[in-house]
Amino acid sequence: MERSCAQSRAAAASENESCRACPVFARNQACNRQNTPAMTIENAFVAVVLTGLVILAGKLLRRRIGLLQRLYLPSSIIGGILALLLGPQVLGALAGWMWGAESVLARGIWPQTTLDVWGAMPGLLISVVFAALFLGKKIPGIRPIWRQAGPMVAHGQTMAWGQYVVGLALVIFLLTPIWGTTSLMGALIEIGFEGGHGTAAGLASTFEELGFEDGADLALGLATVGVVAGVLLGTAMINWGIWRGHLATPDSAAATAVEPETLSEHENREPVPLREVYSDKSIEPLSIHLGFVGLAISIGWLLLEGAILLEAALLVPLGWPQLMTHIPLFPLAMIGGVIVQLAGERLGYADKIDRELMNRISGSSLDMLIVAAMATLSLAALGAHMGPLVILAAGGVLWNVFGLVVLARFMFPRDWMQNGLANFGQGMGMTVIGLLLVRMSDPLNRTGAMEAFGYKQLLFEPIVGGGLFTAASLPLIALLGPWPVFLGTACLMVGWLVFGLIAFGRGNTK
């Protein structure tokens, strides 16, 4: 991403064109004025301060409005929607219609420079989120992970690959013939639902490089639909499961374990005392942890650059299309985090990485990312693609419900609904929704679904849900076309389904 930004800025300077500085910075901005203010560190500082204020406002709204608590919407999403409403697309358009284009509020309350910074933040902060994903988390061997989380992995992989199958099938047989939509829309369900807001925003530059500028906005819209639908449908499915006898009725003491405020992502964390592991007391532990994150991102950047060079030297001369140049940094930053953690376990510094502090770094970055992405969401893009967007959302929701009600019943040897709800929640857009539904269906953790769900991420997130294939899916569809990717993902979906049924299916107590 940094490479493409530099190239775009150089082209803008040499050709003296109007505001072609960088597609990431220009996302959702017409930006055709010759006197657009330059990006400065002061502008970035103001944008970060305003982001914090918006998150605080979202928190206050969440505490005041009971419906927002019952929907378990994080404060960052609420704040992002508030920022969107106060921006040029809603408040600005309304003020311009009422008082004219020269009115004070005709551009909303946010400076144009703040909108430019917000447009750039998601593509940068997503690398921080993914780099910290496994830092400070002890990575066990494959065997203990598989022993406990094998059924969860098989079911989750089936649902994730199925989202590609459903999306591409809808594009091939319905959306393209009727609306003439781009085949890249076939990846939106997995990016928006399984990947969530962070992945959708982080892939903005990839969408733009491939000529589908509205893709990130549509993926963000799907992610928002997924969060709300995941909570509403998940709660309804739990009540249905209790009614049908698939779930035990929670006693009152256990039920109190599920509180709206305690399960919202990145919220209401108790202060975490840092361990005294640093001999140099003049060094703030947070700074050290940011250094570990920076090291993971640096390793990821080296991996990406090396892959680009190898592809150009070995494969491109043989006719292989350039794929790695379209891969964003964040999935490689996640691999860099795994490398840093494994090296730390061998070299003896892993105990200096505080997992709770890494969670806070990742969580804060994700909160800021979501606010920035939602604030610059293009309502015009959503309106222009409303028909296909509704169809994709309906297809994704129906597939996830099928994965819970039908597939989970046969792929888990026991406690199918508690385990299936975890993957259902994550498949609707947020890992925290999966955790929420597990807590609601199994508040005393008698089934072990919570631990299995946690272990599953080690064998899941490096590939899909924001992993390597999620990032590669867009350039693969653009270079190969929808049919090869559809057939490939269908084979993977069927393969995981058959494997899960044989290895862990109902009645299998191994």
Residues 94 and 151 in one domain: no
In a domain, 237, yes or no: yes
Q: What is the mean pLDDT of residues 71-92?
A: 90
Tokens of 74: 């994080």
Q: Identity (one letter) of the amino acid at 294?
A: G
Element (H, E) at 503: helix 482-504
Backbone angles phi, psi at 108, to 5 degrees: 80, -170
pLDDT tier at 178 (50, 70, 90 boundaries)? very high
pLDDT above 90: residue 81: yes
State percent of the chain over pLDDT 90: 53
pLDDT tier at 328 (50, 70, 90 boundaries)? confident
pLDDT tier at 133 (50, 70, 90 boundaries)? confident
The confidence score (pLDDT) of residue 317 equals 83
pLDDT tier at 31 (50, 70, 90 boundaries)? very low
In a domain, 481, yes or no: yes
Residues 110 and 153 in one domain: no
Residues 89 and 26 in one domain: yes
Residues 160 and 94 in one domain: no
Q: What is the mean pLDDT of residues 172-184?
A: 96
Residues 242 and 333 in one domain: no
In a domain, 306, yes or no: yes
3-state helix, strand, coil split of the chain in percent (to 5) is: 70, 0, 30
Residues 176 and 95 in one domain: no
Predicted TM-score of the model (pTM): 0.80
DSSP string covering 6-75, please? HHHHHHHHHHT-SS-S-TTTTTT-----TTPPPP-HHHHHHHHHHHHHHHHHHHHHHHH-HHHHHTT--H
Whole domain around residue 180: which residue ranges? 140-265+377-504
Residues 473 and 500 in one domain: yes
CB 443 within 8 A of CB 250: yes
In a domain, 275, yes or no: no
Residues 156 and 208 in one domain: yes
In a domain, 364, yes or no: no
Residues 381 and 495 in one domain: yes
Closest alpha carbon to 173 in 491, 381, 403, 395: 395
Residues 12 and 118 in one domain: yes
Mean per-residue pLDDT over the chain, rounded: 84
Query: Alpha-carbon dihedral of residues 187, 192, 196, 198, nearest 10 degrees?
Result: 80
In a domain, 361, yes or no: no
CB 176 within 8 A of CB 347: no
Question: How many domains in the chain?
Answer: 3
pLDDT above 60: residue 182: yes
Could you say which DSSP state residue 240 is in? H
Residues 157 and 193 in one domain: yes
pLDDT above 60: residue 504: yes
pLDDT above 80: residue 260: no
Q: What is the pLDDT of residues 35-51, one digit of tens each?
A: 344 568 999 999 999 99
